[in-house]
Structure 1
Amino acid sequence: MKDLGDLKYFLGIEVSRSKIGILLNQRKYALEFISESGLNPAATPSEPNKKFTTVEYDELLGNIYDVICKDVTAYQRLIGRLLYFTTTRPDISFAVQLLSQFMLKPKVSHWETGLRLVRYIKGCPGQGILLCSTPST
């Protein structure tokens, strides 16, 4: 058995120690992820009061404006990568969970919201979870 020193990275999660506590983030993964996109940052994970519907629901109502994504595997890959971010980013958990419900037949509006999440991550790539060393009172 070897002592490898203090933990710095584990499964892509960066571990930083200080007097306050331990910070867990995925900054390196976030920077690699957003470097591929070239999108501008967004202030919020998703648009407020945005309603998502299924393809079947739109067919019943006759909505022809929100079409199905042509590349379903790209959408699934995007959501998979965003799901990995929810490990240290609970602020995007709700939006990612909502988008993951449309993995089989995503629409263009779902894809655009997924890209908005990438833009949101770009605005604060080092955000993570702080595990305080002192108990809160």
Structure 2
Amino acid sequence: MKISHSAEAVVLDQGHYTDSIIELYGMSDCKPISTPLVPGEHLQPATPKELEKFKELGVSFQSAMGCINYLSTATRPDLSFAVSTLSQFLEKPGI
């Protein structure tokens, strides 16, 4: 975590950690968006077929959510709603 001080503010920055998460989960080529979760999106647990597809990717959704949850509690409170919403699907994540 990078901490910067000035007369007006203290800035906490975890850009390096964020970049490492993006790289770890193979999302370096993804296009950034302005909101962490699409407004009004209705999410549902994955179907057995979707769950199998997700498992084939070899990605731990629980681990990824843990990384993002850490960011939301340390320096990115704007991610909290998305973390809360997505955490409802830890057992059956979809794609």
Structure-2-length-normalised TM-score: 0.76
Aligned-residue offset at 1:73: 5.3
Aligned twin of 1:75? 61
Superposition deviation, residue 15 in structure 1:
1.2
Output the amino acid matched with 1:53.
Q
| Map of 2:34 onto structure 1 | 43
Q: Distance in 2 between matches of 1:54 and 1:28?
A: 32
Alignment partner, residue 6 of structure 2: 18
Matches within 5 A, 1:27-66: 27-36=15-24, 37-38=27-28, 39-55=30-46
What is the SS of the residue equivalent to 1:15?
strand
Question: Which segments of 5 or more consecutive residues in structure 2 lack a partner in the other structure?
Answer: none
What RMSD in Å do the two structures reach over aligned CA positions? 2.3
> Which is greater in Rg?
1
Gaps of 5+ in 1: 1-12, 59-63, 109-137
Higher relative contact order (CA 8 A, sep 6+): 1
Query: Which of the pair is proportionally richer in helix?
Result: 2
Deviation at 1:31, TM superposition (A): 2.2
TM-score (ref. length: structure 1): 0.55
